[in-house]
């Protein structure tokens, strides 16, 4: 379908080199271009911000739908829910389950990846520590034997993007090497590893910290644990859940100071209730109560993912945490895009990239979302 080219002008446009005041972004078809065609429609966005579409590499669902157990239509509903909040690229995450079930699930999700609905699959569990299981079913946990890990990689048909594992468990280091050989991100998470064990895992090829600080030993002055190792190594990107529940603002600032703005990726770790509301839900086989937007297991009270959307994470970062807008944009777009190997196509508003963008007002409230040149949320401008 032919689309009228657009010139979006007058906004504060956040580019990799900094913010351009009274800038412009030209959209022709599905791409951002450098030259406006004569028939382009001009849209005045003065008083607004234009930032690249958000990229979420850790997301379990939304809109009442689970990426682990929902039907195809339900999964698509969850994806659309997050698009309404600015997430134009999403990796679908599963939670711990029976291996045969997860392999079957990988087949379904890989079809959605092939269609372009998601950017790939993230397996969070079952290869995690029972000491740091969080909202994962303990009876379904298992050691990360390479043959078992390979089963999930194969089931995903080349669409596995990331797998979270406790690398200190038997088979963990060999599985990290296996993942690296197959181009799948090995993420350290739900781990009880020591500092030294984590250093070994990074040396073997682990490159992501799954929701840093959460589901791992606290930073200690005699036993620094995985947090210190993950923050100090320039090869590691650290995930942060910036919802005000998972992290104290000081912890977020600590991560940015030590990792730097190029090594942080904001994620939602969202479950079904994101964009949907309070109530009772299932996360895998476990029952979850969502109250005042906070998800906790009914039994035990452990935090069970989040109800976060990335537009809220962005606003919190720049208004409460006082991060520079450019740092927040990098954590929401450029850094996760680069991690996924998609930075040639997404993650910035440079000419040649996909026309994925988010429009925000002066108070950083979402006012428009475009994905591949088509408005998902059409701006209502005066």
Concatenate the DSSP letters of all residues of 293-329 into one string.
TEEEETTT--B--B---HHHHHHHHHHTS---HHHHH
Per-residue pLDDT reduced to its tens digit, 47-104? 999 999 999 999 999 999 999 999 999 999 999 999 999 999 999 999 999 999 999 9
Tell the residue number behind the tokens 């930075």, with chain if given.
Answer: 343
Tell the residue number behind the tokens 């579409």, with chain if given.
Answer: 53
In a 10 Å sphere around its CB, with 0-12 CB exposed, 13-18 middle and 19+ buried, how is residue 138 labelled? exposed
Between β-strands 160-165 and 61-62, what pairing exists: parallel, antiparallel or unpaired? unpaired
Going by C-beta distance under 8 Å and a sequence separation of 6 or more, which residues neighbour residue 327?
256, 261, 264, 317
Q: Count of CB atoms within 10 A of residue 362's CB?
A: 9
As a whole number of angstroms, the distance between CA 139 and CA 314 comes to 37
- In 3D space, the residue among 53, 250, 252, 334 whose CA is nearest the CA of residue 326 turns out to be 334
As a whole number of angstroms, the distance between CA 332 and CA 64 comes to 23
Q: Which sign, positive or negative, has the C-alpha torsion 369, 374, 379, 380?
A: negative
pLDDT of residue 2: 64
As a whole number of angstroms, the distance between CA 86 and CA 142 comes to 36
pLDDT of residue 1: 52
**Is 356 considered catalytic here?**
no
pLDDT of residue 304: 87
pLDDT of residue 148: 97
Local structure of residue 16 (DSSP, 8 states): T
pLDDT of residue 283: 85
Which of 192, 233, 243, 269 is flagged as catalytic?
A: 269
Q: Determine if the peptide bond prior to 126 is cis (ω within 30°).
A: yes
As a whole number of angstroms, the distance between CA 153 and CA 292 comes to 37
As a whole number of angstroms, the distance between CA 196 and CA 200 comes to 6
What domains, with CATH codes, occur in the chain? Answer: 6-51+347-377 (2.30.40.10), 54-339 (3.20.20.140)
Concatenate the DSSP letters of all residues of 234-281 into one string.
TT-EEEE--SSSS--HHHHHHHHHHH-GGGEEE---B-TTTTT-SEEE
Going by C-beta distance under 8 Å and a sequence separation of 6 or more, which residues neighbour residue 72?
108, 111, 112
Q: Count of CB atoms within 10 A of residue 181's CB?
A: 10
List, for the chain, all residue ranges whose pLDDT scores fall below the cut of 70: 1-2
Going by C-beta distance under 8 Å and a sequence separation of 6 or more, which residues neighbour residue 139?
none
| Rounded-to-5 percentages of helix, strand, coil across the chain | 30, 30, 45
């Amino acid at each position: 379908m032919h689309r009228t080219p657009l010139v979006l002008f007058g906004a504060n446009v956040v580019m990799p080199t900094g913010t351009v005041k009274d800038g412009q972004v030209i959209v022709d078809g599905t791409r951002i271009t450098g030259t406006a065609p004569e028939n382009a429609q001009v849209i005045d966005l003065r008083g607004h911000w234009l930032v690249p579409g958000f990229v979420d590499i850790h997301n379990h669902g939304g809109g009442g739908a689970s990426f682990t157990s929902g039907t195809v239509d339900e999964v698509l509903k969850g994806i659309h829910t997050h698009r309404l909040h600015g997430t134009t690229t999403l990796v679908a995450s599963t939670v711990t389950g029976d291996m045969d079930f997860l392999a079957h699930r990988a087949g379904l999700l890989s079809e959605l990846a092939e269609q372009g609905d998601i950017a790939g699959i993230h397996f969070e569990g079952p290869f995690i520590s029972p000491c740091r299981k969080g909202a994962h079913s303990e009876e379904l946990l298992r050691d990360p034997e390479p043959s078992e890990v390979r089963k999930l990689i194969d089931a995903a048909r080349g669409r596995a993007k990331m797998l979270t594992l406790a690398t200190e468990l038997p088979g963990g280091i060999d599985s990290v090497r296996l993942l690296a050989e197959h181009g799948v991100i090995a993420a350290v998470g739900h781990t009880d590893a020591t500092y030294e064990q984590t250093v070994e895992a990074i040396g073997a090829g682990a490159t992501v910290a799954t929701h840093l600080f959460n589901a791992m030993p606290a930073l200690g002055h005699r036993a620094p644990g995985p947090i210190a190792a993950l923050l100090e190594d320039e090869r590691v990107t650290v995930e942060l859940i910036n919802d005000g529940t998972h992290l104290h603002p000081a912890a977020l600032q600590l991560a940015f100071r030590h990792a730097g703005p190029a090594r942080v990726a904001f994620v939602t770790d969202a479950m079904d209730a994101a964009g949907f509301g309070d109530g009772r839900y299932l996360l895998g086989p476990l029952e979850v109560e969502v109250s005042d937007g906070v998800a906790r297991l009914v039994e035990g009270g452990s935090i069970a993912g989040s109800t976060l959307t990335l537009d809220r994470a962005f606003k919190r970062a720049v208004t409460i945490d006082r991060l520079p807008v450019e740092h927040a944009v990098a954590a929401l777009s450029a850094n996760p895009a680069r991690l996924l190997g998609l930075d040639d196509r997404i993650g910035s508003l440079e000419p040649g990239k996909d026309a994925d963008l988010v429009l925000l007002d002066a108070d950083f409230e979402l006012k428009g979302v475009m994905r591949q040149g088509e408005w998902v949320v059409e701006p209502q401008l005066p």
